[in-house]
Structure 1
């Protein structure tokens, strides 16, 4: 979906159009005006099935995540920071890159994971940086950019990347040619003192943005985030990437899309 001010929105099919089975959400997104989609986990489906869904709906794939553990498990938010789990992380990155290439995805997001209580932050962070450096080497030449995302302490207690500066430090260490930030406005709005200040600071390292309001994680306009200012900042700072709609609609997806006209100025 191309907005009147040049900002581009894509639909996160894990969160939007959930009134429909997953495979039906592609056509629904296209009918609503989206031209691109993202979702965390393509792995329950053969890549060929998803490629066909994308093509039939006229959609571009923007992002997928590398595999994570089962909901409720210690690995539910990824393996990257877990000592002793490097082989599992590497296996997931290989599969993630395979899917990303097949789907034509621009990005593969590598979730950092939750630090075990008996592992020091320094040890977990060292494991994480080593794993990301390995993944960056593997991704070289694929055309896939790797993304790192900070998550808020309230929703993801123990998540290794718990503020934007931690994620940015890894981007700086590995190199922006291979690894960039995924700036999630929802997470930043909870943990950063001023989301607009954080956005301006970290946008130069950012290749993808995701949005949801806070509190509640519903569509923009349902919470306290100053969305007209967020979108104006993205535009004034020259952001040219996609903006992933990763929110839980307050009612239905279609009804909730009215926020675009109301909040984007």
Structure 2
């Protein structure tokens, strides 16, 4: 059975970050992952994780100007310096806090600029990889319903970018929710791309609520991950239907 990590970008949203970490530990999670924790000192997060008995996994590079709808800058030509500044911020914070991975956000891009975007992203990822070879750099495609205009939506496209980058610490973030909404055929894609997968995330499809409703039978997903000998973490990145604690029955049912 997989090891579950609490994604504190969505879980316990009514509490400040340090209290969310404590809540995750109290709920039985053994790891946490974050979105953009930069307003909280890394040393405080490290101490809170140690107290709660949880491992700190990944964080995201800055999305840029969220008020303008930006979702990162990794593939945006002409803004390479800004993206590398975000990488520097993430690497420094991750190292101090004890995190192990960084999701490098690609950003929005018109389809006509896809080739240039890929070239830009590959160059940016190579530079980021050399800055932090000990960290895993994760690539996550966002589904076009929730994130129209995002640089990529498919697992195959992420695999192409990884191949072009040629760096061993660049891996796929396999978010079952995004894959389910974007493409479907989740089990086939897990099997095909498992060698490139660095992290897995879950949520119900199509609601993005607790992983106990909708189209995806997560007991089948968990069994497949076991069969494929996936030994990484499975991040619970869902939006609770009510209070987070009230919705944790799915984790108990999963064993």
TM-score (norm 1): 0.92
Query: Aligned ranges for residues 114-133 of structure 1 at < 5 Å?
Result: 114-116=108-110, 120-133=113-126
Question: Structure 1 residue 138 and structure 2 residue 131: aligned?
Answer: yes
For residue 183 of structure 1, give the secondary structure of its aligned residue in structure 2: strand
Work out the CA distance in 1 between the residues paired with 2:132 and 2:136. 8
Cα deviation, residue 147, structure 1: 0.8
Work out the CA distance in 1 between the residues paired with 2:39 and 2:212. 33
For residue 131 of structure 1, give the secondary structure of its aligned residue in structure 2: helix
- Cα deviation, 1:116-151, whole Å, max 9, x if unaligned, reads 47x6211112111111111112112xx211111111
For residue 72 of structure 1, give the secondary structure of its aligned residue in structure 2: helix
Work out the CA distance in 1 between the residues paired with 2:170 and 2:60. 14
1:261 matched residue in structure 2: 252
Query: Aligned ranges for residues 1-265 of structure 1 at < 5 Å?
Result: 5=1, 7-75=2-70, 77-116=71-110, 120-140=113-133, 143-175=134-166, 177-262=168-253, 264=254
Task: Report if the CA contact (8 A) 2:21-2:48 is conserved.
Answer: yes
Cα deviation, residue 174, structure 1: 2.1
Cα deviation, residue 196, structure 1: 1.2
Work out the CA distance in 2 between the residues paired with 1:81 and 1:173. 14
Task: Report if the CA contact (8 A) 2:118-2:161 is conserved.
Answer: no
- Provide the alpha-carbon RMSD of the alignment: 1.5
Where does structure 1 lack aligned partners over 5 or more consecutive residues? none
Task: Report if the CA contact (8 A) 1:192-1:198 is conserved.
Answer: no
Work out the CA distance in 1 between the residues paired with 2:229 and 2:65. 38
For residue 81 of structure 2, give the secondary structure of its aligned residue in structure 1: helix
Cα deviation, residue 33, structure 1: 0.7
Question: Structure 1 stretches (4+) deviating beyond 3 angstroms?
Answer: none
Q: Which moved more, 1:182-191 or 1:40-49?
A: 40-49
Cα deviation, residue 261, structure 1: 3.4
Work out the CA distance in 1 between the residues paired with 2:14 and 2:115. 43
Task: Report if the CA contact (8 A) 2:105-2:140 is conserved.
Answer: yes
For residue 10 of structure 1, give the secondary structure of its aligned residue in structure 2: strand
Q: Which moved more, 1:206-215 or 1:62-71?
A: 62-71
